Chains A and B, each alone.
Chain A
Amino acid sequence: MGSRASTLLREEEIEEIKKETGFSHSQITRLYSRFTSLDKGENGTLSREDFQRIPELAINPLGDRIINAFFPEGEDQVNFRGFMRTLAHFRPIEDNEKNKNSSASEPLNSRTNKLLFAFRLYDLDRDDKISRDELLQVLEKVDVEQKMSIRFLH
């Protein structure tokens, strides 16, 4: 899981991440190099301080919330799997994925999951205080599929 300070990502890991998130091989490698460059402590995980070191994030009004979104409940470190899992929400939806029937687990960048992610961003203290219906209805109009997608470089 990259607990040692190794810069090599093993093939099986890449395969697993690919299956889970849908990123391509080159994208995963590139994001891994970004991950390691952010990881100043070289312990294979990122802490909140690592994120806060990114200069542009500091002046982003939503910086804190975004950083929080990476860390699962109660934890202070995020490993590469978790990093990728969060970023997977922002992958553009491919056409052939749209036609998939609702299987056991929806892909991470499905419409619902994108909305869930955005919802959690609003709900900082995670106690569901926002009126959920209203939020979903509004975000429906705002083209979520397009707006919450970044074209990751190949």
Chain B
Amino acid sequence: MSGSLCVKVRASPGRTSTLASRTILQLQNPAPEDSHHQTNSTHHKKAFPVLSFNFDHVRKPFEISLWILLALLMKLGFHIIPRVSHVVPESCLLIVVGLLVGGIIKAFDEDAPVQMLDSKFFFLYLLPPIILDAGYFLPMRPFTENLGTILVFAVVGTLWNAFFIGLTMYGVCQIEAVKLGRVDLLSCLLFGSIVSAVDPVAVLAVFEEIHINELLHILVFGESLLNDAVTVVLYHLFTEFSHKGTVTVADAFLGVVSFFVVSLGGILIGAIYGIIGAFTSRFTSHSRVIEPLFVFLYSYMAYLSAEVFHLSGIMSLIACGVVMRPYVEANISHKSYTTIKYFLKMWSSVSETLIFIFLGVSTVAQPHPWNWTFVVVTVVVCFVSRVLGVVSLTYIINKFRIVKLTKKDQFIVAYGGLRGAIAFSLGFLLPDNEMKQLFLTAIITVIFYTVFVQGMTIRPLVELLAVKKKKESKGSINEEIHTQFLDHLLTGIEDICGHYGHHHWKDKLNRFNKAYVKKWLITGERSTEPQLISFYNKMEMKQAMMLVESGSAAKLPTIMTPVSMQNIQPKEPLKRRAIPSISKSREQEIRKMLRGNLQKTRQRLRSYSRHDLMVDPFEEDVSEVRLRKQRVEMERRVSSNSAANKQSQPWISKQQLGKDNNIP
């Protein structure tokens, strides 16, 4: 009744050992070569080998490079075929490629060892770049605003999923007809905990291409990041229990405690490394070239250190990136900033591609004991539990939210719960028992289902349901000012009400940051510099470089990027009473900048997108520069004819074309 998909494969650990043995052989027995040499000199029968073939010498790096090259070429190929990439998300195509490659290798040589998704390789080398990229560029504002919701989904949702799936599968296995009576409760719960977690890699890969609005993106993505702690705890918990055999109440209680330890400990380690990294960057002004390395290494160390103690490495990595970023960016040079950005994007892109391809290859390389009931029920139960979980949690969460989550939002959140390579690797790490292969098959099926079916259909569904897309409009400095204004306003009102809400604590944190932390972690004068001026300087430099590159003599009016202006008021500051005082000259500078640049300009960080690097005025085409210069010239001609107090617009958006702003 149950067929099996059996493929002969040599176990992968064997490969490294044969390589090792070969190298040892070569070191220990130089004799054959010697004798070869001697025969050469004595007999002159063979000529000196001009060209010789020694593949084993470079085997490992060669294969790795080949794999990476293959992955990247595939990635290129998809974008050359436009029709396919519109319908099918990249992740699906990559898995298919992996399947094909695995199949080809199988076809060529039955016994050929197929490079599998080695769990250690995955967790130590492939996963960290993606998470660091995500954490470093995490849009903080929507994340902190929705933190409560995200945490509820991540913790409670994952727990619910794990137990629901585990218990249901146990119930299914008890049914006589399925012939799986051997599976005990703990194994099922372990299986449930592996399959329940939403995967950040898969979510990123799919959601990047559908461009939904910021709120939904941060909800699903934040959930996928934060549920790592829950997954780690549950996994270790159930593995330990499986060994011990019995579970006591004390053990369960310790499990709960360990959850807090894992998550908070991970965050703490990440924060510590982040602060050390920020502190280090304070002194790098003399060796700018190695600045990016500090960022990468400290973050990686944070990840590894957390993994040493079985804490949540992902949360540690994210905490490190988030903590480090504002200070590091104030300290490092512009080039280092660009380097960090590009390297992170590059590494995470490569990692993601490799992960999906290996997922495909590993599928082919496995023997797959197939049990229809188990696998199908798993897929169905996963989906059902996700929907139930999201709906019930949203019902509770909406009581506490100001902006409620609509049914459409709930659907997208539920539908976007994709499983990915983390589940597979965790399954791979399971101790070898009879159930392992069955579990792996089920896990792979779930992953394939979510990535292929849900991944492919989510885009048309988003269109169909008319879910709000990412805001495409370029923000303006005006908007930024008003946002800050409203922040202060709400903080004030909260203080009047005596209500210690969201704004109150955010404001306190900002003040603490300004008063103490910045002094320590940011070099010299920059620590007291109002953010507005530092960004203005950065932008001025970019402008200057752009001018030099485009080789133009015409002076471009400065382009201001909106910046979080904590203490700058939109109108003249009335009383200096308790506001941190800025020197007179600084104030003049700020006022001049505001007057000249309070127009629609590019915003620095609008939304988080992985495939297109954030649009930067610095990276614009020369043609755009030319276009802008033309506009500027036109405007200047127009404005020179109008009243003296009208300002010229450095950047005209479509709505404001023709309108001039009166700035008092």
Closest-by-CB residue of B relative to A60 is B492
- Of residues B400, B489, B578, which shows the largest number of chain A Cβ atoms within 10 Å of its Cβ? B489
Q: Are A61 and B404 in contact (CB-based, < 8 A)?
A: no
A153 touches B479 (CB 8 A): no
Instruction: Please determine whether B664 and A129 come into contact, CB atoms closer than 8 angstroms.
Output: yes
Q: State the CA gap A124–B569 with chains docked (Å).
A: 13
Given contacts A56-B504, A90-B490, A131-B661, contact A142 B482 (CB under 8 A): yes
Interface residue A118 (Cβ < 8 Å from any Cβ of B): yes
Chain B, residue nearest A31 (CB): B497
Given contacts A150-B499, A153-B499, contact A66 B664 (CB under 8 A): no
> Is A59 in the interface zone, CB < 8 Å from B?
yes
Chain B CB within 8 A of A147 CB:
yes
Find chain B residues with CB under 8 A from A34 CB.
496-498
Residue on A with the closest CB to B495?
A56
> What chain A residues lie within 8 Å of B478 (beta carbons)?
134, 138
Asked if B312 is at the interface (CB within 8 A of a chain A CB), the reply is: no
In the docked arrangement, what's the CA distance between A151 and B490, Å? 11
Which residues of chain B are within 8 angstroms of A38 by Cβ–Cβ distance?
A: 496
Cβ of B13 < 8 Å from any Cβ of A? no
**B156-174: which have CB < 8 Å to A?**
none
Chain A 65-115 residues near chain B, CB threshold 8 A = 65-66, 87, 90, 92, 95
Bound state CA distance, A86 and B402, in angstroms? Answer: 19
CB of A150 within 8 A of CB of B488, answer no
Shortest C-beta distance, A36 to chain B (Å), equals 11
Q: Is the Cβ of B402 less than 8 Å from the Cβ of A59?
A: no
Interface size class of B (residues with CB under 8 A): 35 or more
Tell me, in angstroms, the Cα distance from A77 to B574 when the chains sit together.
22
Task: Name the interface residues of A49-68: CB closer than 8 Å to any CB of B.
Answer: 51, 54, 56-66
B652 to chain A, nearest CB (A): 15
Within the complex, what minimum Cβ distance (angstroms) separates A52 from chain B? 9
Answer whether A60 and B404 are a contact pair too, CB < 8 Å, given A31-B497, A34-B498, A138-B479: no
Cβ of B571 under 8 Å from chain A: yes
Q: Does B638 make an interface contact (CB < 8 A)?
A: no
Chain B positions within 8 Å of A150 at CB level:
490, 493-494, 497, 499, 501, 503
Q: Is B14 interfacial (CB 8 A cutoff)?
A: no
The answer to whether B402 touches A87 (Cβ under 8 A) is no
1/0 per residue B467-496: CB within 8 Å of A?
000000100101100110110111111111
Complex Cα spacing A106 to B573, Å: 33
CA distance A138 to B573 in the complex (A): 21
Whether a CB of chain A sits under 8 angstroms from the CB of B5 is no
Q: Which of these, A95, A124, A134, contacts B574 with CB under 8 Å?
A: A124
Answer whether residue B662 sits at the interface, using C-beta atoms and an 8 A cutoff: yes
Interchain CB contact under 8 A, B495 and A57: yes
* Structural contact, A148 and B497, CB atoms closer than 8 A: no
| Chain A minimum-CB-distance residue to B400 | A151
CB atoms of A142 and B498 under 8 A apart = no
**Inter-chain contacts of A57 with B (CB < 8 A):** 492, 495-496
- Which listed residue, A61, A90, A122, A146, touches B579 by the CB 8 Å rule? A61
Partner of A87, one of B403, B473, B497: B497
A151 touches B482 (CB 8 A): no
Judge whether B492 and A63 touch: CB under 8 Å: yes
| B574-A64 in contact (CB<8A) | yes
A61 engages B570 (CB within 8 Å): no
* Distance of A92 Cα from B664 Cα, bound (Å): 33
Chain A nearest CB from B357 CB (Å) reads 41
Contact yes or no, A61 B573, CB < 8 A: yes
A residues in contact with B492, CB < 8 Å = 56-57, 60, 62-63, 66
Contacts of A56 in B (CB 8 A): 491-492, 495, 504, 507
The reply on A121 being an interface residue by CB < 8 A is: yes
- Within 8 Å of chain B (Cβ to Cβ): is A4? no
A141 located at the interface, meaning its Cβ lies under 8 Å from any Cβ of chain B in the complex: yes
CB–CB A64/B575 < 8 A: yes
A28 to chain B, nearest CB (A): 12
Per the bound structure, the CA–CA distance linking A145 and B483 in Å amounts to: 13
Q: Cβ of A122 and Cβ of B573 under 8 Å apart?
A: no
- Which B490-520 residues have a C-beta within 8 angstroms of A? 490-499, 501, 503-504, 507, 511
- A118 contacts B491, C-beta separation under 8 Å: no
- A122-B497 contact, Cβ under 8 Å, with A56-B504, A57-B492, A142-B486: no
Whether, in the assembled complex, A29 has its beta carbon less than 8 Å from a beta carbon of chain B, the answer is no
How far is A148 from B573 in the complex, measured between Cα atoms in Å? 22
Residues of B within 8 Å of A58, CB to CB, are 577-578
Question: At the interface, yes or no: B115 with Cβ under 8 Å from chain A?
Answer: no
In chain B, what residue has the closest Cβ to A135?
B482
**Residue pair B488, A60 in contact (C-beta under 8 Å):** yes
- Residues of A within 8 Å of B571, CB to CB, are 122, 124
In contact, A60 and B479 (Cβ under 8 angstroms): no
Closest to B478 in A: A138
Cβ of B188 to closest chain A Cβ, rounded Å: 41
From A83, which residue of chain B is reached at the shortest CB distance?
B496
Q: What is the CB-to-nearest-CB distance from A58 to chain B, in angstroms, rounded to a whole number? A: 5
Interface hits, A123-140 → B, CB 8 Å: 124, 129, 131, 134, 138-139
B402 to chain A: closest CB distance in Å?
5
Q: Taking the nearest CB of chain A, how far is it from the CB of B660, in angstroms?
A: 11
The reply to whether the CB of B567 lies closer than 8 angstroms to some CB of chain A is yes
Chain A residues near B567: list those with CB within 8 A. 61
Q: Is the CB of B661 within 8 A of A66?
A: no
Looking at A129, A141, A149, the one whose CB has the most chain B CB atoms below 10 A away is A141
Write the chain A residue with the least CB distance to B403. A146
Interface centre among A34, A145, A147 (most CB of B within 10 A): A147
**Across-interface contacts of B495 in A (CB, < 8 A):** 54, 56-57, 60
Which of A51, A56, A131, A149: most chain B CB closer than 10 A? A56
Residues in A neighbouring B501, C-beta threshold 8 A = 150-151
Docked pose: A139 CA to B485 CA in angstroms: 11
25 A-B residue pairings within 8 Å (CB atoms): A54-B495, A56-B495, A58-B577, A59-B511, A59-B578, A60-B507, A61-B567, A61-B573, A61-B579, A62-B569, A63-B492, A66-B492, A66-B496, A87-B496, A90-B490, A90-B493, A129-B664, A134-B661, A138-B482, A147-B486, A148-B486, A148-B490, A150-B497, A150-B501, A151-B400
9 nearest A-B pairs in the assembled complex, by CB-CB distance: A56-B495, A66-B492, A62-B488, A59-B578, A60-B492, A147-B486, A34-B498, A92-B402, A58-B578
Extra 12 A-B pairs, beta carbons < 8 Å, given A64-B575, A142-B482: A37-B498, A54-B496, A57-B492, A57-B495, A64-B574, A92-B402, A121-B489, A122-B570, A142-B479, A143-B403, A145-B403, A151-B400
